[in-house]
Structure 1
């Protein structure tokens, strides 16, 4: 296997938001690595910190948000000299991020295309604009490239579509346009924030295939943010499971789906809809996520964890490496050598065996 090239490295990232007289600790010590050409997924319930993490990468945190500590190191090769450059996005000014990073090196596809597109501008103009802004591309050249991009994202009669406004397109087509805009400056990293949530299932599958095809052709790295483990199974190489602003389990896709170790991951997998199940009701994780305006003592998941130990109420668990793996890590005291042995629920074991038989991952 050739040497993997690290393109993005997040270390000990802590982010908080001021709301009224309270401070919400939204991100608590996140560590994340992304390599060239690979896909990572960040999964977890709403409010777990998935989108905040990626907005920090793009430098688009809300005005009441601040990065309290940590680094987001982004590495690329200079277009002219080929020299390797690493910069910490946290230390860059808004102007530097806007001219060097956002859209140009790292682009983002949001969940709802209507909030990303300008309703008063033709889609052609919206695809051309980033190229003209970042690279000084001529109008004629930008027009040609925009038509080609529309073709690449599967829009028929692209030249005619250049004159359309967003409201004249279907939801699926609008999402394709958003992807074309994101790709217009040939970014190295594409962040997809729930890119198929607003679409029906058949269009959803086509959009996921489209992103994978583009990734193979262009060799870009992709970060998926989703709460849908079905999507993760189709697209990801690595998975990061987030809970209450922290990554609680990370590993290769097979490790997370076939050998999950954190009780929260067990809950997420158990809650996946399954048409062939004998159960009348869909599993839900008991309780609700913690209030992040209050200081969390111990493991944030402890109040919802059926397998919580006494230590969980006092100390936040570190990341434990899973024996025999260089990639699988779990933030749970159950992984401590002295912890009692706990088996995953029988119903989840059955489900995992079934997934193995069906080859559910990346099929």
Structure 2
């Protein structure tokens, strides 16, 4: 039962996408469902190539030319300036309409590498003002003042001076702050952050995450994080969708995914997180490599890398099994007929440590 008090912003249903390549069709997204509500954060987690960015690019209307959407819908709900509500299926709209009404204005994206998002020939100020002038026909002086305020909001000191700077004159962390300022310039309802901290060092990373969080709280916007780093997820998300080979294999609240993970792939991702207190000398890695989606195999795509795989995994793709109202996982291990398999003992210890640490932090606050 959907919660009536929560206002749905995005609803992705049965999204299925194939890419035409010279080697043959690549079935990159296979029946993806995602729900996002106002003011909440969903993290899409998985290794490179699992389909996280493709799913969000479909929503932004920026899929590559060779992509074909086979089926599905992406319902996006927003309010017009006069307050009247509207829900559109973004897959039914053409690129021109999306560019005019959605991109930057209602859904904004922060990409991985700020250098590829910024125009090296334009000053920072011009780039922040551009969206406001285009979408809202705002007077230049007003846009300039708003751009200054945005730079201050994202923690850039000496904003006046920075307005005249070019991207190459700023550090990586500053450039990413500028990209966030540009993303916020038109007051979007939804912010998509595609690995927003990968190119930055750890201390700057924490600051950028903190910044996005505080802006989200202040403005009540919804956020989707695309990341392979569960450490990042722990700091920012309310809900987590774990993706593998173009499918969501586990979905739940942040606590369910971290403290009660049920899919062997999620176990692998959690085990691969660096941890100072572990007794292991070496960092755990999931055996094998992600599947080549050119050659689709029958059954569960994760089976070849899963030491707990059952015979049925090679024949039939598992459905989503319900664990709680918010927690589902696609693994045959959850079938009542399957043998009882517990998560690896070293991961159990780690989960217990994480849980104790979280309690300590809560008590300290």
Q: Same fold (TM over 0.5)?
A: yes
In 1: Cα distance, 2:52 partner to 2:224 partner: 10
Instruction: State which drifts further: 221-230 or 16-25.
Output: 16-25
Deviations 1:215-241 (A, max 9, x none): 011000000011111100000000000
TM-score, normalized by length of structure 2? 0.97
The offset of 1:132, in angstroms, is 0.6
Match of 1:22 in 2: 24
In 2: Cα distance, 1:3 partner to 1:307 partner: 40
Structure 2 gaps of 5+ residues are none
Match of 2:63 in 1: 61
The offset of 1:341, in angstroms, is 1.1
Match of 1:33 in 2: 35
Gap change, CA 1:138 and 1:204, over 3 Å in 2? same
Gap change, CA 1:21 and 1:362, over 3 Å in 2? farther
Match of 1:155 in 2: 156
Match of 1:300 in 2: 301
Preserved contact between residue 254 and residue 361 of structure 1 (Cα < 8 Å): no
Q: CA RMSD in A?
A: 1.3
The offset of 1:66, in angstroms, is 1.8
Question: 3-state SS of the aligned residue for 2:212?
Answer: helix
Alignment of 1:129-208 (within 5 A): 129-208=130-209
Preserved contact between residue 235 and residue 362 of structure 1 (Cα < 8 Å): no
Preserved contact between residue 234 and residue 362 of structure 1 (Cα < 8 Å): no
In 1: Cα distance, 2:70 partner to 2:132 partner: 33
The offset of 1:79, in angstroms, is 1.4
Alignment of 1:85-100 (within 5 A): 85-100=86-101
Match of 2:103 in 1: 102
Match of 2:49 in 1: 47
Gap change, CA 1:362 and 1:336, over 3 Å in 2? farther
In 2: Cα distance, 1:201 partner to 1:305 partner: 31
Match of 2:220 in 1: 219
In 2: Cα distance, 1:355 partner to 1:137 partner: 48
Structure 1 gaps of 5+ residues are none
Residues matched between the structures, number: 360
The offset of 1:83, in angstroms, is 2.1
Q: Does 1:127 pair with 2:128?
A: yes
Deviations 1:72-124 (A, max 9, x none): 000112211x2221100000011110011111110000010000000000010
In 2: Cα distance, 1:132 partner to 1:361 partner: 48
Question: 3-state SS of the aligned residue for 1:357?
Answer: helix
Match of 1:348 in 2: 347
Deviations 1:289-331 (A, max 9, x none): 1110112210000111111111111111111110xx2100001
In 1: Cα distance, 2:231 partner to 2:290 partner: 22
Instruction: State which drifts further: 59-68 or 221-230.
Output: 59-68
Question: 3-state SS of the aligned residue for 1:282?
Answer: coil
Match of 1:3 in 2: 5
In 2: Cα distance, 1:16 partner to 1:178 partner: 30
Preserved contact between residue 233 and residue 362 of structure 1 (Cα < 8 Å): no
**Where has structure 1 moved over 2 Å in runs of 4 or more?**
360-363
Preserved contact between residue 9 and residue 33 of structure 1 (Cα < 8 Å): yes
